[in-house]
Amino acid sequence: MIGVVVVSHSERLAEAAVELGMQMVHGDAPPVRIAAGADGRFGTDAAAVAAAIDDLADSPGVLVVTDLGSAVLSAGLALELRESTTEVVVSGGPFVEGITAALVLAATGAPLGEVAREVSAALGAKAAQLEPVPDAPVLAPAPAATAELPLSADEVLVNPEGLHARPAAMFVQAVGGYDALVDVTNLTTGTGPVTAKSLIGLLSLGAKQGHRLKLDGHGPDAATAVSELRRLLADGFGELPATAPH
Amino acid sequence: MRTLEDSRLTVDDLIAWLVRFDDEIVEQAGFLTELDSAIGDADHGTNMARGTAAVRVRLTETPSGDAGAVLKSVGMALVSTVGGASGSLYGTLFLEMAKSVGTASELDTAVFADAFRAGVAGVVARGRAEPGDKTMIDALQPSVEALSAAASDGVPLAESLQSAAAAAAAGRDATIPLVARKGRASYLGDRSADHLDPGATSAAILVQALADSHAERTR
């Protein structure tokens, strides 16, 4: 798993954001280091950021997520001060949404580039929920299909809360375990398709109870992945009040 | 009659400069914070004072080494203690100057001017700010130009440093009508106009401290 370095002006802010994001991670979590505050006050310290990156030198990549402006400056300087040579990306994504998206996707073993793209787009879900949407975010195009035959299925969302963060994280985890890509479209609203590996993309579907979702699987494990997602949907993600077998 | 020694900055001159900088920052910390309370988060004076105090301790309590080592040590002390954008930006200024001078033990006007230019270029690259954005660059960039011009005209070091300080002060004063486009003050938009920029003010203090400490030591 890639590592995540959280750079914040405040230790408490960083700890709470990581704790919140970790709610979505079930099973092994990616390694996280926090570099927050400067000299015990609000601020950021490039030397501490460099040390945090160096501490994750054994990871196959490190994503740095930052809060306000000068945290970006410190992260940039840290890349010059660090001693390790692991690939590092400083993300411009939003802090809370970005940390959550990073932890969920990194936990599936996704590579640095994929996690970095997900984090950059992490404001999309919030923007898509607001009405009216003056400049609707452009959803990331679905990844190109592989040579295998597409495998599709429709399923109606039965759980009362719809496809909110917890079930969306379960989707990402379920698909992460297979050699397959699954595109998800909200047929009721005509939103999507988005990849089921993207927490943010799934949230941007705005899928509510009663909405019909279309699943298009590609790749060697597509059949298993799609049927696993159908099972989660039919099961209401374990959120059905009385009948939930979960 | 000037002696050859007067035309070069030694390691001791650099240390004297930064001790002087600390004295000035301590004296003007209240003023800097007042400026910052108008358009920022009211901590520039205290942040800078914490940084320059750490620099003074590091320079006066540990063996000095060459010019590059001294400037690097200054940069690292500022990075770790000032916090926020000022820490990274002042840190970058000194770390880039350190790279530029390398292991030299004395810097003539041209070498110092090149190092100062490299340092300010580092700040520009790190902060992505340009002249006119109402930042420390507005004091530093004209100061670099003045110092380089003086160096290439063969102006003696003391006068070169005075013209660099004068250019920094003029650049600082020119920030008053500007609308901030970078840093915390940029959130204020037009309301950031009619205020002196705190970062440009501390940057002008830095250059003036060099001119003054050099003048004092060669008097």
Q: What is the pLDDT of residue A144?
A: 47
Catalytic member of A26, A164, A211, A246: A164
Mutate to test the interface with A, among B50, B58, B74, B88 (most CBs of A within 10 A): B88
Mutate to test the interface with B, among A45, A79, A90 (most CBs of B within 10 A): A45
Between B2 and B131, the higher pLDDT residue? B131
From the CA of A236, how many Å to the nearest CA of chain B? 44
Q: ∠A170-A172-A173 over CA atoms, to 5°?
A: 65
Using CB atoms within 10 A of its CB, is residue A68 exposed (0-12), middle (13-18) or buried (19+)?
Answer: middle
Looking at the structure of chain B, the number of domains it has is 1
How would you write the pLDDT of chain A (246 residues) with one tens digit per residue? 999 999 999 999 999 999 999 999 988 999 999 999 887 888 899 999 999 999 999 999 999 999 987 899 999 999 999 999 999 999 999 999 999 999 999 999 999 999 999 999 998 877 777 765 555 455 544 444 444 455 888 889 998 888 888 888 988 988 888 888 899 999 988 888 898 988 888 888 888 889 999 999 888 888 888 988 999 998 888 887 765 444
CB pair distance less than 8 Å for B92 and A74: no
Which residues neighbour A134 within 8 Å (Cβ) at sequence distance 6 or greater?
A: none
Q: What is the pLDDT of residue A244?
A: 44
Tell me if B204 sits within 8 A of B140, measured CB to CB.
no
Q: What is the pLDDT of residue B38?
A: 86
Q: Where are the alpha helices (DSSP H) in B62-197?
A: 67-82, 84-101, 109-127, 137-152, 157-173
User: How far, CA to CA in Å, does B16 sit from each of B2, B90, B153, B156?
Assistant: 20, 18, 26, 19
Domain that holds residue B28: 4-218
CB pair distance less than 8 Å for B88 and A73: yes
* Lowest mean pLDDT, pick from B25-39, B70-84, B85-99, B183-197: B183-197
Mutate to test the interface with A, among B79, B86, B94 (most CBs of A within 10 A): B79
Distance CA B20, CA A164 (A): 59
CB pair distance less than 8 Å for B80 and A69: no
Asked about A26 being catalytic, the answer comes back as: no
User: How far, CA to CA in Å, does B132 sit from each of A218, B36, B136, B160?
Assistant: 53, 18, 10, 24
Q: What is the pLDDT of residue B6?
A: 67
Q: What is the pLDDT of residue B139?
A: 98
CB pair distance less than 8 Å for B83 and A76: no
Nearest chain B Cα to A79, which residue?
A: B126
Which residues neighbour B42 within 8 Å (Cβ) at sequence distance 6 or greater?
A: B33, B36
Kind plus residue range of the DSSP H or E element containing A182: strand A181-186
Could you tell me how far CA A97 lies from the centroid of its own chain? 8
CA dihedral A4, A125, A26, A103 (to 10 degrees): 0
Using CB atoms within 10 A of its CB, is residue A40 exposed (0-12), middle (13-18) or buried (19+)?
Answer: exposed
Q: What is the pLDDT of residue B28?
A: 96
Q: What is the pLDDT of residue A242?
A: 64
CATH number for B119: 1.25.40.340
CB pair distance less than 8 Å for A38 and B76: no
- Tell me the DSSP string of A14-68: HHHHHHHHHTT--SSPPPEEEEE-BTTBSS--HHHHHHHHHHTTTSS-EEEEE-S
Strand A62-66, strand A3-8: pairing = parallel
Domains of chain A: 3-122 (3.40.50.510), 151-238 (3.30.1340.10)
From the CA of B101, how many Å to the nearest CA of chain A? 18
Q: What is the pLDDT of residue A53?
A: 98
Contacts of residue B184 in chain A, CB cutoff 8 Å?
Answer: 69
